[in-house]
Structure 1
Amino acid sequence: MGQHYLLQASVFRAAVLFAVVVWIPHIYSDYPEPVSNLSVNSITVSSLNLSWTLRNGISPYYKVAWDVNLLTTNQTFMQISQLAPGTKYTFNVTSVASDNRTEGRTVEISQNTIPAQVENITLLNSTNSSLTLAWTPPLGHVDSYEVSVSGAELKIITVSTNSSVISNLMVGRVYNLTVTSVSGALKNISNIVQFATKPNPPEALSVSGQTNGSISLLWSKPLSMDGLNVSYEVSYRSSLSGVNLTLHQTTSLTATLTNLLSGSQYDIAVVTIGVKDLRSSLVNLTAYTVPNAVQKLVVSTVSTSSVNLTWLPLNGTSNLFSYSVSISSPDQTLSTTSNNYQITQLQPGTPYNCSVRTLIIVASISGPSQFIQCNTKPLPVTNLTASPVGTTEMRLSWFYQRNNKSSYLYNVSVNGERWIQTSNETTQISDLIPGNNYTFTVQAVVNGMISEPVAISAFTVPTPPGELSVSSVYIVWPVAFWENQ
């Protein structure tokens, strides 16, 4: 096989009386035997080995071609390198005769290189039940990717792009993940990466107690997270300062915020912190500290049927405040947003127990009550009369409707200077000067409250003259003058 031979053909032609023998040369070639058992082995991301056999005879060398590449060898194997990862190549192997021109039939084989390994796997997003991954597409060609997630059970997802969303995962757990690049029947698995789902938020966040400087919180463990180690972070912000503050992390299901402003609104958020420091969604709550008691509560104006209360406005979120004003006998509760209030329709000369407390209506909380005694003025006396008694005394009397109040007293003044107090509706003023005009004023007094004054003016009786005596008499009479006619 593979040798050259010279063949001659003889042609005989008969003619009259003579014969001619003509030799016509003809060349016949035998083509080399094609290779057999062509196979591929030792495949990597950028190289592979080809090998083949030749059943009979020998061949000086072989041509190996793929794409635009052509190599020759006198061996029955060849290593092909500098290939693109994950790419399918068709290799042609041809045996060549010793004349370096005659070739046997070409034998071909197709094979993929191993795809490149996926790198730079990153977590784009994590929820409490899903993970969103992305990675850099590797060099060369990839038909698809297999995303494997190991947890309670192995989950494999096949995708054609360089990202994947893995759903239906358990909350707050760590998962081992790999991404395998696939090209044909060949695969290349990535290094293992670990990502975790987020924890669930706390349940049933509520206020368990509050003072004028603190708020106590209570919550329940997140759902579906029994047996998992979690902690909690509490943050809060005053509506007045707008400054965000954060408590230290705690594993307890309670927390108390201290050093707060009284009567203020606080926006509170609690978050669960799980594995890999992942945080749940926030659970929000608006809460309020108890307002302080009102300061400098006074009765500023009093009449016979009303009292006016005033107090200092409180520090805090003033637009949240209203005030509850209470009065006894009969019990009444009134409301105002101002720092003063007039209580009307009261009985004259009557003592009342009054109190004021601050309310935050939106939260149904109130501060401590501040108490004060509220007494109305008594009515002025009526029918005041003054009757002289002798020349140096004056008897005063008046009428007053006591309304079953036995504790009435009366202040009686003489010319606004001399004061006498009595519990009767009559009194006698002595040591007066005869024949003088005096102004007497009477005011009712009850529970320390004094009525409007009622005044009357009267003269004392002058001193009568003594015995009449005559020491001399002068008589004067008129004299008439008559003219003579």
Structure 2
Amino acid sequence: MGNISLQDKVLILLSWALVLRCSAAQREYFPQLRNLTWDQARTQCQACFTELVTLTPQNIQLLSQNLTSDYWVGLRKNFYCTSNHSMAWSRWANGDPLIFQNWYPGSPLFKSTQKEYCCSCSCNNPAMTTPGKTSFTTLSNFTTSYVTNTTDMSSFTNFTNQTATDFSSLWNSTTPTAATPRMPVEAECVRSPMLSPYVSKTDVNYIEDSCVAMLRFGAWIEKNCSELLPFICYEDRFLGQAIVTNSTFENARLSWLPGPGNISHYRIEVKVDKNLTEFQTGNLSHDLVNLTAGTGYSVQVFPVKCGRDLHPQKVTFFTKPHKVENLSVTNVTETSVFLRWNKPAGNLHHYLIKVQGGEQIRSDTESKEVDSLIPGNLYTFTVHSVVSDKWSEGYNIIEYTKPGKVLELRVSNNTQNSVLLSWRPPEGKYTGFLVNAAYGNNMNVAGLPLVVNQTEWTVTGLPIGTEITLRVIALTNGTVRGKEETVVDYTAPGPVSGLVLVPTSNSLTAKWNSSGGNSFTVELYLNDQKVDKRNSTSPEWQPKPPTNASAISSNKNQITFQWKPPENITTTANYSLRISSQFWGDNRSATTNNTSYTFGNLKSGTRYHFEVQTVADREPSEPAQVSHCTDAEKREISLSMLCSSTEPLLCDKNTTREEVFNQLNARFNKLLGDNVFWELKKQKAGD
């Protein structure tokens, strides 16, 4: 490869930079079907696009796919000139250097020289010769060799033009003279056919100022620039960007960059859902009005050039959503607050609840329970409407969570008129405690309820020997109450007086007076030995119990019980009855003055526990008890078992069917016992 001049090196570097720039610019091509001269075509491209097309190996393949005729392209023989000489085919119409050629064979045509031969006579005398000069034949060969081997078209064109000018005088004279140079020869003139003088003759197809057209398959040819042909324009894709500022609930400011070239106006398309609105303006901004709050809009701004839309500048945006309405608290617990609000006008995506402390909670509906809060704490809740990255103005509400329940409430230091209450404070926050007490029909003790700050309090002014219900409630903010904690205890009783014994043949009735108290313990001694101990709520010994309680009949849903009255009873007694099922948690009560009773609507196959007590003067006796089962309504259930375990190889133990059955039987017995009817049977092998 020959040496590259500095000028060529610069052109190569510029060409590579141009290729990189064009590839990044996303160039687009626009074939035009109007037939114009090359100059008219270029003017049209400059007005409505950028310029006549600059060809590359890549875009030739693209453009030639759809061409049906010859098209003007942006290359002309003598387009750019310097002060010294013209460099033909050196640059494209847009100024890019020519770094690629795709000429059709035989193109381009250059000014050529032709050699003419004829028979002529010459003198026989030797001509004058000049030492160091070569013969015409040698010069002719040199000229031909130069033309054949040259690779620089501009040099080639300049050389041939210069040759035709500098050597024309050599061929126009037939008689050598001293003043006119003659063709040098090496021998004397003889009569023989001789080479005619070297005459410059232009090819009839040569075009002095030619322009390039591209054939439909991509090759280049020269044509007269005044011919009428369709042409191909190009334009770098416009990549502007629209922006939206000052977006509010119903308005927004739209701005964009100016389009390239002669832009007549801008066409604006505003789309929301399936609705499209269009505007036109000659400005670079436009105010969008009458928008819907919290709504997404897609906007395209098309620069219009020669009635053609360029690629749009696009932007999407959302209007600001409205503030929620009527925020309220509908329920409060120790660790949660339930919020509710109304949807604002316009649109939105969701709601965002900001909780004091930085936590943010999303809600897709108009209500939300905010949990995991601290009991008794004051919180500020702020609800925002949200669409995309836009938040509405916040709606605030302040609420306390309820304080927790006090812990370990207990009674001590019982006296006849007072008790000492003590407790541990609840978890979370509180500001005080509400203490209250009640007994009998007196729901409030004098001086209570009372708010205290300490964790103990002596309740005074209570009656002697009385059951007292004491309550403590934690408070926050002085008014927000937590759940109450309750304890039941007694004040100390007063002494018993006026004990009277009324004997019969087989019983002993004790009566006494009480100075305070509503429950008593009665102990019976015989020969200084305690033979009986009973509790009573009245100053009289309780009646004797019935005896021989039994179930006399039953079916699937009822049982009839029977008992005997107490011994030596002289009148009809009243009885208090109770039946219960531990398994079902069923408890029922009844009263009767008969000695039998039927309980119905029972569950089949269930064991029921029955108690009967004698009631005298509203005091019950000790109960007589018996248990009985309703008839079972049997159903069979088949069980299949498959061993699975999280412990490796645990299921590989050799466990027999008998062991599995025994374990299963023990399990059912633990769960069901004899409270309901059940029976576990082994299935025979092969069944």
> TM-score, normalization: structure 2?
0.37
Which of the numbers 305, 320, 339 marks the counterpart of 2:539? 339
Which of the numbers 176, 183, 207 marks the counterpart of 2:411? 207
- The 2-side partners of 1:324 and 1:9 are apart by 133
Query: What residue identity is the alignment partner of 2:247?
Result: I
Conserved? CA contact 1:86–1:112, under 8 Å: yes
- The 2-side partners of 1:37 and 1:329 are apart by 114
Structure 1 residues 229 and 243, CA gap change in structure 2 (3 angstroms): closer
- The 1-side partners of 2:298 and 2:305 are apart by 23
- TM alignment of 1:229-248, pairs within 5 A: 230-238=431-439, 240-241=440-441, 243=443, 246-248=448-450
Q: What is residue 117 of structure 1 aligned with on the other side?
A: 323
Query: What residue identity is the alignment partner of 1:278?
Result: V
Query: What residue identity is the alignment partner of 1:216?
Result: L
Per-residue deviation at 1:104?
3.4
- The 2-side partners of 1:236 and 1:302 are apart by 42
- Which deviations, in whole Å up to 9, do the C-alpha atoms of 1:220-248 show, x marking residues without a partner? 2224x4xx55200123332x216356512
Q: Does 1:218 align with 2:422?
A: yes
Query: What residue identity is the alignment partner of 1:174?
Result: L
Which runs of 5 or more residues in structure 1 are unaligned?
Answer: 1-6, 11-32, 343-485
- The 2-side partners of 1:204 and 1:267 are apart by 15
Q: Does 1:88 align with 2:293?
A: no
Per-residue deviation at 1:176?
3.6
- The 2-side partners of 1:117 and 1:110 are apart by 22
Conserved? CA contact 1:92–1:106, under 8 Å: no
- TM alignment of 1:176-325, pairs within 5 A: 176-188=380-392, 190-223=394-427, 225=428, 230-238=431-439, 240-241=440-441, 243=443, 246-275=448-477, 277-294=479-496, 297=498, 310-312=511-513, 318=518, 321-324=519-522
Structure 1 residues 204 and 65, CA gap change in structure 2 (3 angstroms): closer
Per-residue deviation at 1:49?
1.0
Q: What is residue 309 of structure 2 aligned with on the other side?
A: 104
Structure 1 residues 131 and 300, CA gap change in structure 2 (3 angstroms): closer
Structure 1 residues 97 and 219, CA gap change in structure 2 (3 angstroms): same
- The 2-side partners of 1:119 and 1:291 are apart by 62
- The 1-side partners of 2:486 and 2:392 are apart by 47
- The 1-side partners of 2:331 and 2:503 are apart by 70
Which of the numbers 145, 151, 165 marks the counterpart of 2:351? 145
Query: What residue identity is the alignment partner of 1:118?
Result: V
Structure 1 residues 114 and 276, CA gap change in structure 2 (3 angstroms): farther
> Identity, % of aligned pairs?
23
Secondary structure of the structure 2 residue equivalent to 1:85: coil
- Which deviations, in whole Å up to 9, do the C-alpha atoms of 1:464-484 show, x marking residues without a partner? xxxxxxxxxxxxxxxxxxxxx
- The 2-side partners of 1:339 and 1:60 are apart by 110
Query: What residue identity is the alignment partner of 2:485?
Result: V
- Which deviations, in whole Å up to 9, do the C-alpha atoms of 1:438-481 show, x marking residues without a partner? xxxxxxxxxxxxxxxxxxxxxxxxxxxxxxxxxxxxxxxxxxxx
- The 1-side partners of 2:304 and 2:352 are apart by 44
Conserved? CA contact 1:145–1:158, under 8 Å: yes
- The 1-side partners of 2:455 and 2:309 are apart by 84
Query: What residue identity is the alignment partner of 2:406?
Result: P
Structure 1 residues 156 and 290, CA gap change in structure 2 (3 angstroms): same
- TM alignment of 1:63-82, pairs within 5 A: 65-66=270-271, 67-82=275-290
Q: What is residue 652 of structure 2 aligned with on the other side?
A: none
- The 1-side partners of 2:305 and 2:377 are apart by 68
Conserved? CA contact 1:269–1:284, under 8 Å: yes
- The 2-side partners of 1:163 and 1:302 are apart by 74
Which of the numbers 100, 122, 126 marks the counterpart of 2:332? 126
Conserved? CA contact 1:119–1:190, under 8 Å: no
- The 2-side partners of 1:155 and 1:285 are apart by 39
- The 2-side partners of 1:144 and 1:134 are apart by 14
Query: What residue identity is the alignment partner of 1:137?
Result: K
- The 1-side partners of 2:509 and 2:377 are apart by 66
- Which deviations, in whole Å up to 9, do the C-alpha atoms of 1:24-45 show, x marking residues without a partner? xxxxxxxxx9995422111122
Conserved? CA contact 1:173–1:275, under 8 Å: no
- The 1-side partners of 2:288 and 2:478 are apart by 46
Per-residue deviation at 1:203?
1.5
Secondary structure of the structure 2 residue equivalent to 1:249: strand
- Which deviations, in whole Å up to 9, do the C-alpha atoms of 1:164-208 show, x marking residues without a partner? 344433343333433333212323351444333332221210111
- The 2-side partners of 1:137 and 1:336 are apart by 66
Structure 1 residues 165 and 326, CA gap change in structure 2 (3 angstroms): same
Aligned residues: 302
Structure 1 residues 282 and 97, CA gap change in structure 2 (3 angstroms): same
- The 2-side partners of 1:302 and 1:166 are apart by 71
Structure 1 residues 165 and 8, CA gap change in structure 2 (3 angstroms): closer
Per-residue deviation at 1:298?
5.5
Structure 1 residues 310 and 109, CA gap change in structure 2 (3 angstroms): closer
Per-residue deviation at 1:325?
5.9
Secondary structure of the structure 1 residue equivalent to 2:374: coil
RMSD across aligned positions (CA): 4.3
- Which deviations, in whole Å up to 9, do the C-alpha atoms of 1:349-390 show, x marking residues without a partner? xxxxxxxxxxxxxxxxxxxxxxxxxxxxxxxxxxxxxxxxxx
- The 2-side partners of 1:72 and 1:235 are apart by 79
Conserved? CA contact 1:35–1:94, under 8 Å: no
Q: What is residue 578 of structure 2 aligned with on the other side?
A: none
Conserved? CA contact 1:34–1:94, under 8 Å: no
Conserved? CA contact 1:35–1:52, under 8 Å: no
- Which deviations, in whole Å up to 9, do the C-alpha atoms of 1:393-431 show, x marking residues without a partner? xxxxxxxxxxxxxxxxxxxxxxxxxxxxxxxxxxxxxxx
Per-residue deviation at 1:218?
1.2
Which runs of 5 or more residues in structure 2 are unaligned?
Answer: 1-33, 38-236, 543-687
Q: What is residue 253 of structure 2 aligned with on the other side?
A: 49
- Which deviations, in whole Å up to 9, do the C-alpha atoms of 1:262-297 show, x marking residues without a partner? 3332332211112474322221211223333345x1
Conserved? CA contact 2:296–2:319, under 8 Å: yes
- The 2-side partners of 1:77 and 1:262 are apart by 91
Structure 1 residues 87 and 327, CA gap change in structure 2 (3 angstroms): same
Per-residue deviation at 1:143?
1.9
Which structure: greater helix fraction? 2
- The 2-side partners of 1:119 and 1:336 are apart by 65
Q: What is residue 136 of structure 1 aligned with on the other side?
A: 342
Per-residue deviation at 1:84?
1.8
- TM alignment of 1:370-381, pairs within 5 A: none
